[in-house]
Structure 1
Amino acid sequence: MRKLLILFLFFSVFHSKAQDFEMLLWEDTIPGSIENNEYQEAQKFDGDHLIGVSKVKEPKLYAYMAKGDSLRSAVIIFPGGGYSHLAIDKEGFKLAEWLVSKGISAFVLKYRLPDDHIMENKSVVPLMDAQRAVRLLRGNAEKWNLDPDKIGIMGFSAGGHLAASLSTHFNEKVYPEAIKESARPDFSILVYPVVSLTNEITHLGSRERLLGKTPSEELVEYFSNETQVSENTPPTFLVHAMDDHAVPVENSLKYLKALKENKVPTEIHIFENGGHGFGMGRQLTNNTWTTSLLNWLKLHHYKI
């Protein structure tokens, strides 16, 4: 029987020393999975540092805990990678280290990537993992010194699509386990996100990997998150570049419009340059978004 595994890491050959522990996301059975012993996770390293992951079979959380006596806000980070891999360092560990340096606990989610070889319905599996991650933080809030009302999410590119999907489908019952805690994020941070799966503005690779080559119109609309926004969608901070040719800026603009129509508190930062995948920023002015984010978090009292 698989047990919930928590490994406290004081020295890790794979990740930064700032990491406090890692844990498997699911106890016992992983929902929606198909057993396939030949399917193995692939990892990419820069020296001894893990920078990329694909073929994720066992989802996991990597925890970076902010110090202090008061309850901490927390952010769960969904790295991007077009639903084919996870840029887990540039869009995961580095952000977690930065957040914890600002007094915010951070959790990097190594979520399952859509694959018919190990999944019964690949389109909902990433959402399963995302919902589970939020519920795990709320369920362990007292033990981990977290404020259960200040748990947010941050997603990049396809990870931004997952974050937007969670922000609009947090109440959907996508796995069969008994549910106690809410999966609704208290706030959402979307960085050059894939929001829409419509032909006009989507990232086609992400759509095909999540939904297949010929998805139904109903499925495309369900996961085109600009059509799913409601007044209960969490407050959102958006970041994009005008010259993003992989994921057009219209993804963020359409989501912004839907948020405004539903009176959801929202802030957007669109940069003249940066292209796609600039992470924490490469140059002026796209390297200033993290400072703006801190100010936004303070405005909404999500940061001490």
Structure 2
Amino acid sequence: MRKIKLIIALLIAGITVSAQSRHSSINGNHGIPEDLKQLSLWSNAVPDGPGPLGAEKITASGSITNISNPRLIVHQPVKPNGTAILVISGGGYAHIEMGKESAPVANWLQSQGITAFELIYRLPQEGWKTTDVPFQDAQRAMKIIRSLAGQYHINPDKIGILGFSAGGHLAGITATQSNKRFYKPIDAADALSARPDFAGLIYPVLTMLPPFNKTHAKKSILGKTPAKAQEEAYSVELQVNSSTPVTFLAQAADDPISPVNNSYLMNTALKKAGIPVEMHIFQTGGHAWGMGKSNSPTAAWPALFEVWVKSCGFWK
């Protein structure tokens, strides 16, 4: 039965999506489906603007840039099971790979009864006053989801975060630094906790320290020659503390973009802090596999993640 469900989820994951936001430019039939609700993160002016000018750009494969309207795309199941997950695509903080990562994953979660929120976050090199804008958006997103728990039939103590590649870095910073104030509070939602109850980091970029700091994500956030203190401040494994949520790690040993050491370092840091962690290292699979490459060990991760979240008591 589980195999049948996984096959159905993978078929759902293949559906492309098309753009609706007032800042989007539609390319063919790809983008964000019109039946999906979108929630702007900021009720008035977006912090640290002005940001990029012109329309949002989205490619045929669902890669987004020129983002001035950070928001949540809501995938609401017919029968919500009380769990919600904020899903964050990667793209080196230079674009958002929605079509390959967050959209199919959110569709799969929705099919399982989980309310999934895709995060469309600001990119640090698109004209903002600070490169912290992705962290502002992710932290704000967690608070908004928690504020809407009653409306979406969500248990406010069962809200997780799931990030891929650079999105794994964004999810990791959000999970480990939930008490850090990345922006000034603007409304009642900001009084709520930004801490995820559980975290999934899939082929994540986590450390900004040498020799593993050759990623585009590091350059987008810190530039080419940051000070060591900056590298340490944005290395997720160094931010792990006693309030870090239980964490799931999955990565391929032959990842050519984000060295597998990222997961090993995070696994060690979590264990040292006494935080429950489950790690899966696949011998092959490379990078950017989203729901998992067919005929590859990485195709097993969604089922493994489901079993893990259920074992933690967050998924009925």
TM-score (norm 2): 0.86
Shift of 1:16: 6.7
Partners of 2:32 and 2:178 in 1: CA distance: 31
Partners of 1:126 and 1:20 in 2: CA distance: 22
Partners of 1:262 and 1:241 in 2: CA distance: 24
Partners of 2:214 and 2:250 in 1: CA distance: 17
Partners of 1:291 and 1:253 in 2: CA distance: 21
Which amino acid counterpart does residue 66 of structure 2 have in structure 1?
K
Shift in alpha-carbon separation, 1:15–1:303, aligned structure 2, 3 A: farther
Shift of 1:14: 4.8
Partners of 2:208 and 2:75 in 1: CA distance: 32
State the partner residue of 1:22. Answer: 38
Shift of 1:238: 0.4
Match of 1:95 among 94, 101, 105: 105
Please say if residues 42 and 53 of structure 1, whose CA atoms lie closer than 8 Å, have aligned partners that are also in contact. Answer: yes
Count the aligned residue pairs.
286
Which amino acid counterpart does residue 129 of structure 2 have in structure 1?
E
Match of 2:90 among 80, 85, 88: 80
1:255 aligns with 2:266: yes
Shift of 1:35: 5.4
State the partner residue of 1:108. Answer: 118
Which amino acid counterpart does residue 91 of structure 1 have in structure 2?
E
Partners of 2:30 and 2:74 in 1: CA distance: 14
Shift of 1:34: 2.4
Give secondary structure in 2 for the equivalent of 1:238.
Answer: strand
Partners of 1:188 and 1:203 in 2: CA distance: 24
Give secondary structure in 1 for the equivalent of 2:83.
Answer: strand
Shift in alpha-carbon separation, 1:71–1:292, aligned structure 2, 3 A: closer
State the partner residue of 2:69. Answer: 58
Give secondary structure in 1 for the equivalent of 2:257.
Answer: coil
Task: Summarize deviations over 1:125-167 as a string: whole Å, max 9, x none.
Answer: 1100000000000111101111110110110000000011111
Shift in alpha-carbon separation, 1:39–1:118, aligned structure 2, 3 A: farther
Which amino acid counterpart does residue 28 of structure 1 have in structure 2?
N
State the partner residue of 1:45. Answer: 60
Match of 1:145 among 139, 144, 153: 153
Shift in alpha-carbon separation, 1:19–1:201, aligned structure 2, 3 A: farther
Please say if residues 233 and 264 of structure 1, whose CA atoms lie closer than 8 Å, have aligned partners that are also in contact. Answer: yes
Structure 1, unmatched stretches of 5+, are 7-12
State the partner residue of 1:291. Answer: 303
Task: Summarize deviations over 1:44-89 as a string: whole Å, max 9, x none.
Answer: 125xxxx110121111110001222x65101111101011111101
Shift of 1:284: 3.1
Shift of 1:278: 1.2
Shift in alpha-carbon separation, 1:260–1:63, aligned structure 2, 3 A: same
Task: Summarize deviations over 1:254-291 as a string: whole Å, max 9, x none.
Answer: 00000000011110110010001111111231101111
Please say if residues 100 and 290 of structure 2, whose CA atoms lie closer than 8 Å, have aligned partners that are also in contact. Answer: yes
Which amino acid counterpart does residue 271 of structure 1 have in structure 2?
F
Shift in alpha-carbon separation, 1:146–1:204, aligned structure 2, 3 A: same
Please say if residues 81 and 154 of structure 2, whose CA atoms lie closer than 8 Å, have aligned partners that are also in contact. Answer: yes
Task: Summarize deviations over 1:69-125 as a string: whole Å, max 9, x none.
Answer: x6510111110101111110111110001001111110100100111x521111x11
1:174 aligns with 2:174: no
Please say if residues 19 and 62 of structure 1, whose CA atoms lie closer than 8 Å, have aligned partners that are also in contact. Answer: no
1:156 aligns with 2:160: no
Shift of 1:19: 5.4
Shift of 1:21: 0.8
1:303 aligns with 2:308: no
Partners of 2:252 and 2:176 in 1: CA distance: 23
Which amino acid counterpart does residue 127 of structure 2 have in structure 1?
I
State the partner residue of 1:10. Answer: none
1:264 aligns with 2:279: no
Structure 2, unmatched stretches of 5+, are 1-20, 23-28
Identical residues among aligned pairs (%): 36
State the partner residue of 1:34. Answer: 50
